């Protein structure tokens, strides 16, 4: 009985739910909203980058003529990738612990995750500044307790940006992981153990593959959110932590060079799409090869 049940569950996991034809029409309204208020303006941005101030690749030629823009785009991508990876490593055990909790413990854990999630990014960034300053809470404690002599430089550099961004984006990783972990039928793990798999093998061949949808969703969410980060790198980072969002803002509202801003934004969009396709390919490839999937 349990085996059949599991098989059915596995089946439903593989084939996502699709609405009946009539209901699909209901999607027209949100699709229209998206098309009018998101896709069309986005298309306009891309078009603007090619036709203003004159038709051609002038804006892109300017971007590629100096290394600054490309370096900043590369910086932004590296920052987003590192943050996504660190967040995954930190979030996975947390999500695993919480997924096993029941009742009040579960609600308590969820509150701990969600309250910071609902707090403004600016406030949380300022909180880190209070902690990390040269004469901030952490440095004062370390210096007065004699552990260090000179205050540590914890902000206005890469350390500060990474800590701040990881903290802000953790819930985006924990929540998808948690949802995929909680949907795993515990009998599957029991079955693996009955069939003789040791805990490591159970994890690598059963548990991890079953949480991969959550891992994918979390990594993508965090990576893409991190690409657009503006406030945290500006306040906690040093000059070398300049992100592409900062440059786009400069072009948009300080220099009023919208064609250039559009070109930068289009380039970021293209790079992100390319990375997404690559990511999709790799995860499918791994899935097909049976390394991670079943």
Partner 1 sequence: MKQRQHLNRRSLLASAAGIAVVLPVMGFPTVLRAKPERMTIPNPGGALEEALKAAYFKTFTEKTGIEISGAPYADTAKIKAMVENNAVDTDVIFTDAADAAMLAKQGLLEPIDFSVVDKSVLIPEAVHEHYLLADVAAYAMAWNTKSMSDDKRPKTWAEFFDPAAKPGQRSLWKYAAQTLEVAAMGAGQSRDKLYPLDLDAAFAKLDAVKGSLTWWDSGAQGAQLIIDGETDVGTVWNGRLYKPRKDGAPVDYTFDHCLYVCDSIVVPKGARNKAEAMTFIANFTDPKNQAVFCKSIPYGPVNPATFPLLDSETKAALPNAPENAKTAVFQNFGYWADNGAKIIEQFNKWLLG
Is the CB of 30 or the CB of 239 nearer to partner 1? 239
Closest approach, Cβ 12 to partner 1, in A, equals 31
Q: Mask 103-122, x = binds partner 1 (CB under 8 A)?
A: --------------------
**155 near 132, Cβ under 8 Å?**
yes
Distance CA 87, CA 84 (A): 5
Is the CB of 195 or the CB of 255 nearer to partner 1? 255
Tokens 């990014």 -> residue: 121
Q: What is the total count of residues that contact partner 1 (CB under 8 A)?
A: 25
Query: Count of alpha carbons within 13 Å of 277, Cβ hemisphere only?
Result: 6
Q: Residue 257, interface with partner 1 (CB under 8 A)?
A: yes
Q: How many CB atoms lie within 10 A of CB 149?
A: 7
Please choose, out of 60-68, 78-86, 96-104, 269-277, the segment that lies near partner 1 by the rule CB under 8 A: 60-68
Which structure tokens are listed for 197? 């798999």
Tokens 């990881």 -> residue: 166
Which of 56, 71, 100, 284 is close enough to bind partner 1 by CB under 8 A? 71
Distance CA 144, CA 152 (A): 13
Is the CB of 180 or the CB of 243 nearer to partner 1? 243
Is the CB of 175 or the CB of 261 nearer to partner 1? 261
Which structure tokens are listed for 143? 């210096």
Q: Residue 200, interface with partner 1 (CB under 8 A)?
A: no
Please choose, out of 63-71, 78-86, 265-273, 284-292, the segment that lies near partner 1 by the rule CB under 8 A: 63-71
Distance CA 86, CA 162 (A): 9
Is the CB of 132 or the CB of 223 nearer to partner 1? 132
Distance CA 207, CA 228 (A): 32
Q: Mask 216-245, x = binds partner 1 (CB under 8 A)?
A: ------------------xx--xxx-x---
At a CB cut-off of 8 Å and minimum separation 6, what does 209 contact? Answer: 292, 293, 294
Q: Residue 247, interface with partner 1 (CB under 8 A)?
A: yes
Q: What is the largest CA-CA distance in the chain?
A: 71
Tokens 């093998």 -> residue: 201
Is the CB of 173 or the CB of 244 nearer to partner 1? 244
Peptide bond connecting 53 to the previous residue in cis, omega within 30 degrees of 0: yes
Is the CB of 69 or the CB of 92 nearer to partner 1? 69
Q: Residue 252, interface with partner 1 (CB under 8 A)?
A: yes
Tokens 């306040």 -> residue: 235
User: Within positions 143 to 172, which residues make up the interface with partner 1, using CB under 8 A?
Assistant: 156
SS3 of 292, please? coil
Q: Residue 134, interface with partner 1 (CB under 8 A)?
A: yes
Residues binding partner 1 (CB under 8 A):
66-68, 71-72, 75, 133-135, 156, 234-235, 238-240, 242, 247, 250, 252-258
């Amino acid at each position: 009985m349990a085996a059949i049940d599991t098989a059915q569950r596995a089946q439903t996991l593989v084939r996502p739910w699709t609405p009946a034809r009539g209901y699909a029409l209901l999607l027209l309204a949100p699709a229209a909203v998206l098309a009018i208020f998101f896709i069309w303006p986005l298309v306009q941005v891309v078009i603007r980058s090619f036709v203003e101030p004159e038709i051609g690749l002038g804006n892109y030629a300017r971007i590629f003529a100096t290394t600054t823009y490309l370096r900043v785009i590369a910086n932004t991508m590296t920052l987003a990738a590192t943050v996504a990876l660190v967040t995954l490593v930190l979030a996975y055990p947390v999500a695993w612990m919480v997924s096993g909790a029941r009742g009040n413990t579960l609600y308590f854990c969820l509150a701990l995750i969600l309250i910071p999630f609902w707090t403004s990014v600016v406030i949380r960034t300022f909180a880190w500044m209070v902690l990390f300053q040269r004469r901030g809470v952490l440095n004062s404690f370390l210096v007065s307790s004699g552990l260090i002599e000179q205050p540590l430089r914890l902000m206005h550099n890469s350390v500060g940006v990474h800590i701040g961004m990881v903290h802000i984006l953790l819930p985006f990783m924990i929540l998808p992981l948690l949802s995929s972990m909680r949907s795993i039928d515990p009998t599957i793990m029991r079955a693996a153990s009955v069939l003789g798999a040791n805990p490591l093998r159970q994890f690598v061949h059963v548990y991890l593959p079953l949480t991969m949808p959550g891992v994918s969703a979390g990594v993508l969410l965090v990576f893409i959110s991190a690409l657009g980060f503006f406030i945290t790198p500006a306040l906690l980072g040093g000059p070398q932590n300049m992100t592409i969002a900062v440059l786009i803002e400069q072009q948009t509202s300080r220099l009023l060079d919208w064609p250039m801003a559009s070109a930068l934004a289009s380039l970021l969009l293209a790079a992100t799409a390319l990375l997404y396709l690559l990511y999709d390919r790799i995860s499918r490839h791994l899935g097909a090869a049976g390394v991670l999937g079943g």
